[in-house]
């Protein structure tokens, strides 16, 4: 009976160690996921801003070209 109790306590300690280790790994992965999601969002925002800037440049260039061709035809 004493041997079984000692084995049970040893198993309980090992399970507690594993549980603690697994919880630390889970927290680490959650932090990495959060960081990666933030990085993805930042890159998407940067791409969107770049696209908007290039669209604005394209539309203003087109306006200038149209204006110049209108003046030339007059």
What does each of the 74 residues of the chain score in pLDDT, given as a tens digit? Answer: 888 889 999 999 999 999 999 999 999 999 999 999 999 999 999 998 888 877 776 665 555 555 555 555 55
- What does the pLDDT read at residue 68? 54
- What does the pLDDT read at residue 56? 72
Q: Rounded distance, CA 46 to CA 39, Å?
A: 11
- What does the pLDDT read at residue 67? 55
> Reduced to 3 DSSP states, what percent helix, strand and coil does the chain have, rounded to the nearest 5?
95, 0, 5
- What does the pLDDT read at residue 70? 55
């Amino acid at each position: 009976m004493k041997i079984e109790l000692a084995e049970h306590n040893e198993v309980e300690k090992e399970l507690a160690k594993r549980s603690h280790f697994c919880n630390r790994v889970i927290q680490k992965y959650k932090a990495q996921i959060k960081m990666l999601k933030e990085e993805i969002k930042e890159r998407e925002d940067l791409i969107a801003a770049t696209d908007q800037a290039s669209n604005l440049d394209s539309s203003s260039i087109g306006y200038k070209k149209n204006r110049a061709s209108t003046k030339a035809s007059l």
